[in-house]
Amino acid sequence: MKISGKSVIPASEITPRALFEQRRHFMQLALGASAGLLAESVFAGEKLPATLSEAYGLTDKLTPLKDVTQYNNFYEFDTSKEGPAKLAGSLKTRPWTVSVEGEVRKPKQFDIDALLKLAPMQERIYRLRCVEAWSMVIPWLGYPLAELLKQVEPTSEARFVEFVSLADPEQMPGQRKPVLEWPYREGLRIDEAMHPLALLIFGLYGEMLPNQNGAPVRMVVPWKYGFKSAKSIVKIRLLKQPPVTSWMQAGPSEYGFYANVNPAVDHPRWSQAKERRLGDFLKRPTLPFNGYAEQVAGLYVGMDLTKNF
């Protein structure tokens, strides 16, 4: 698959213009903060230091923080977009452990504060596109999931990775309704999970993740529809067989295992050809693999992506 124009810039080809644009965004960010424009945010306010990863620079305009933190999909709290920001205060993110198990030589339970320090924290500006045809551009803070997987030493039998979110109806009022089968479960093929673009995320916009964005730790898989990026993860399981994900269980004809962003494959109930950036008025065309084709198309060589949707 080919796309016209580079939207993600490999380190070797980073242009002065791209660097300039990127710095400009960060200056805007800093100015916004000092002018009190971030004051409305619902952050616990804890800073998360990170190094800007220029290899993955984007020149897209950042999505306003207000949209990032007040327009969410997090069905464990509520199925409305505004609900999670209002209700996620009940989520307790400390103490928190993430258990990594299954087809690994060294299964391990990671305390969240140890997990934070497992690899250098990077800042990466990524697009994330929801299956509902809206998208956003966020400065995420995290590191490649591969860093964690390497530590537990997957066996040669490990072909898939399953992500399991927290299940606790006391903290997550949306789980008192059978909207999805809880806990929320998602999955990737092992090569997708090991891809350097697939990030384990702890923060955004310079600070720890707000609860409604998936605190204390979530995935961001930018070439796939947003639902693949599981929030508030408590377990990562390496498997021989593909896991049955919550969305596949809810609607197998609508939500496939791969869920790669693909403008040519419509959702049965709506078109995927265009998207609306949060904060924008006009729609824009959706790009194959959400603009990351150059980096990830090679993972799917020989596959019919209309069948493996």
Residues that bind ligand MTE (CB under 6 A): 72-76, 130, 165, 184, 213-214, 226-227, 229-232
Select the binding partner of residue 231 from Mo ion, ligand MTE, none (C-beta < 5 to 8 A, by kind): ligand MTE
Within 10 angstroms of residue 108's Cβ, the number of other Cβ atoms is 15
Per CB under 5 A, 227 contacts Mo ion: yes
Please work out the total of residues on this chain that contact Mo ion, with binding judged by CB under 5 A.
5
Q: Which is nearer to ligand MTE, 54 or 60 (CB)?
A: 60
Per CB under 5 A, 73 contacts Mo ion: yes
Question: Hey, what's the torsion of the CAs at 198, 200, 206, 212, to 10 degrees?
Answer: 110
Least separation, in Å, of the C-beta of 170 and Mo ion?
A: 25
Least separation, in Å, of the C-beta of 174 and ligand MTE?
A: 8
Per CB under 5 A, 214 contacts Mo ion: no
Least separation, in Å, of the C-beta of 185 and ligand MTE?
A: 9
Residue 207 forms beta bridges with which residues? Answer: 47, 204
**Only segment of 112-120, 125-133, 249-257, 279-287 that touches Mo ion (CB under 5 A):** 125-133
Tokens 């537990």 belong to 152
Least separation, in Å, of the C-beta of 166 and ligand MTE?
A: 8
Question: Hey, what's the torsion of the CAs at 293, 210, 215, 208, to 10 degrees?
Answer: 80
Select the binding partner of residue 255 from ligand MTE, Mo ion, none (C-beta < 5 to 8 A, by kind): none
Q: Is 97 helix (H, G, I), strand (E, B) or coil?
A: strand
Buried b (16+ CB within 10 A) or exposed e, 203-214: bbbbbbbbbbbb
Q: What is the DSSP letter of 259?
A: -
Cα–Cα separations (whole angstroms), residue 69 to 42, 85, 208, 213, 229: 7, 7, 12, 7, 16
Select the binding partner of residue 160 from ligand MTE, Mo ion, none (C-beta < 5 to 8 A, by kind): none
Cα–Cα dist 22/62, whole Å: 10
Least separation, in Å, of the C-beta of 213 and ligand MTE?
A: 4
Give residues in contact with Mo ion (CB under 5 A).
73, 130-131, 226-227
